[in-house]
Amino acid sequence: MSDTESGRVVEFSIGGMTCAACSARLEKVLNRQAGMQATVNLAAERARVRLSGQADEAAVVTAVAKAGFVAQVVDAQTREREKAAKQHAYQREIRRFWIAVLLTLPLVGQMLFMFGEHGHGNELPRWLQLLLATPVQFWIGWRFYEGAYKALRGGGANMDVLVALGTSMAWGFSAVVTIFDLPQHVYFEGGAAVITLVLLGKLLEARAKARTSEAIESLILLQPKTARVEREGQWVDMAVDALMPGDIFLVRPGERVPVDGEVVDGESRVDEAMLTGESMPVGKGAGDPVFAATSNGQGALRCRATGVGEHTLLAGIIRMVGEAQGSKAPVQRLADRISAIFVPVVCAIALATFVGWWLYSGEFAEALVNAVAVLVIACPCALGLATPTAIMVGTGQGAKAGILVKNVEALERAEKMKVLAVDKTGTLTCGLPQVTDSDARGMPAGEALRLAAGLEQNSEHPLARAILAAAAGEAIEPVSGFRACAGQGVEGVVAGRSLRLGAPEWLGLENDGMVRHWQQEGKTVVVLAEGVEILAIFAIADALRPTSRTAIERLRRRGIRVVMLTGDNPRTAAAIAAQAGIEEFRAGILPGDKASAVNELKAGGNLVGMVGDGINDAPALAAADVSFATGAGSDAAIEAADLTLIRSDLLGVDEAISLSAITLGKIRQNLFFAFIYNVTGIPLAALGLLNPVVAGAAMAMSSVSVVSNSLLLKRWRPRNPMDYSGAFDGRH
């Protein structure tokens, strides 16, 4: 469950859906209810419902039940219960399938002996055929009658209606011929074979669908169940769920970190590949963060818990991936509209086929068989599975590579992006600026640094942190009357002196020789002044990330125009842009104006993306068509962004576009297969060119083929960060 500005979002597990018509009808039913806004995912068997006003969980469960399905609120234990229930149901269906095979084989086998000179003499007695086919029709196939009844009671129709109607027509006709000993051929083998083949298809589909959620399952299994916690000087083993923020826990060599925390003492290297996709272990020491489910190396780490339960980074990833898998891509809207009217249209075509063939040939049996073939071939399962299965696998693979997708609409837009606006500090650069040079004027350099640090002690700006880091260990005077001047600097009173610290342009020093020299080296310059007197000049450098230039080159090869946005002066911006290989930049932009810059870039009609990491980037991220926040960024930036890159690396944008392209490619392939299957299959059946048994086999395999095609996304891997080829190969 999550809260939003317009209500709270609750996730429900849904039982009883069999095809796209089911999910489309349920979604329509829920969206008609007051205070409910729902999206239903057939592949995940989930519904995400935003509740507002008087609507609550009980109302959702009631509405779902009236539509013919079963709903249950998803909680921490739901996955385990569902997994056990599905495994039990799967084993039961396996047993029923083999019983169906044993009963159907004699019926189908007799067909092999009916093509010879005395073929009809080898036909099984009709009463025996009736005895073999009836359990298959009404016991094994009862699920189709039950599903059809619930669908019709709820005011809709689904795949179960087609299968139940088609096979019942074949069985009913054959039973009448048998009971009254009429001189007609019987079609018991057709109905029995269709039910058996559809059941086989459902089993294969269930097995394949289970694999689409493996990414989330593997993430959940990574977190340890117990932790070694310090209690009154003793180490005791406790359930991870019992840990509270502030608890001290021990991570021994080779163990996984139980919750998010901060290293108190000890040194080791931690493998964070499952979060960031980065293969090299990260060194950890006192003060460094550690994250739940990451794997410790050879050293022991004593840590303090900072995030537990639903507040760990891992829990956030699982939650975000689940939300993305439950969201709906715009490309699916056409499939939804078709699914909503599909079954009634197919029934009309089947009726027209029956009437047309009866009038044309005068043979009731032939007309019936062709109508049954139309009903059986036209299952909309593949249509309903085409998009959600690809999304589930794609977003899961993205999570493994450190790319978290908030909603699928953003993933679809990422592939079409033409312009990318890039924040400088912390995005192109490492985000760890350091004071590299100083020029004190009128006082000792140490005293000037202490005054500057005193002025900046309440600021969270990266440049302020650089000043404070340079003055570490020095006695800093308190500041009073502190005021931040957006895009210019800060001012206040330190040690009785009224000071200003900020941009050279703000303090009239933009043409100073030293200032110009440092700016041309790509350094940011800040000036400390008292009134009109200049006290000191500081040069601060933030190194370019080693991968930034490679990332920019890859993006340019994709045809994406990259624009750097920065509050720095034009000379410093030009130097950083040149180092990164960026040809276009906007300098001197105030934090509040970044969103306006993004809107200007959108004015040309291009789809514009934005990458940022700071609080001041949040408005620009919200304004962009596609927004990316780096994992080291602020909560505000991550909340505003469509995609979060756990690894603070611009290469993640290239990988996200790659993931977008291959996922959308699979969705298009799946939709093409699903549409072409029905577009060709239904006319063939209507023209009498398709036997019902063959139609049943084709229908079953269509769903399996769509899910299997989606599973090919598991082969996607992010490219080696230092691969400069930029080629778009089969993995992408």
Four-point Cα dihedral 325, 326, 330, 335, nearest 10: 100
**What b-and-e string marks burial along 673-685, b requiring 16 or more CB atoms within 10 Å of the CB?**
bbbebbeebbebb
Q: Which residues fall within 8 angstroms of residue 105, CB to CB, at 6 or more apart? A: none
CA-wise closest residue to 473 among 452, 450, 456 = 450
Cα–Cα distance list, 319 to 55, 219, 407, 631, 655 (Å): 23, 11, 12, 16, 21
Give the pairing type, strands 403-405 and 419-423: unpaired
Distance CA 287, CA 414 (A): 36
Q: Which residues fall within 8 angstroms of residue 292, CB to CB, at 6 or more apart? A: 223, 257, 258, 259, 260, 307, 312, 313, 314, 315
Cross-strand bridge partners of residue 71: 14
Distance CA 93, CA 89 (A): 6
Helix/strand/coil for 727: coil
Distance CA 244, CA 306 (A): 8
Q: Which of 423, 542, 642, 649 is catalytic?
A: 423
Cα–Cα distance list, 32 to 25, 28, 56, 410, 426 (Å): 11, 6, 15, 26, 46
Q: Which residues fall within 8 angstroms of residue 5, CB to CB, at 6 or more apart? A: none
* Catalytic residue check, 423: yes
- Other Cβ atoms less than 10 A from the Cβ of 615: the count is 15
Query: Which residues are marked as active site?
Result: 423
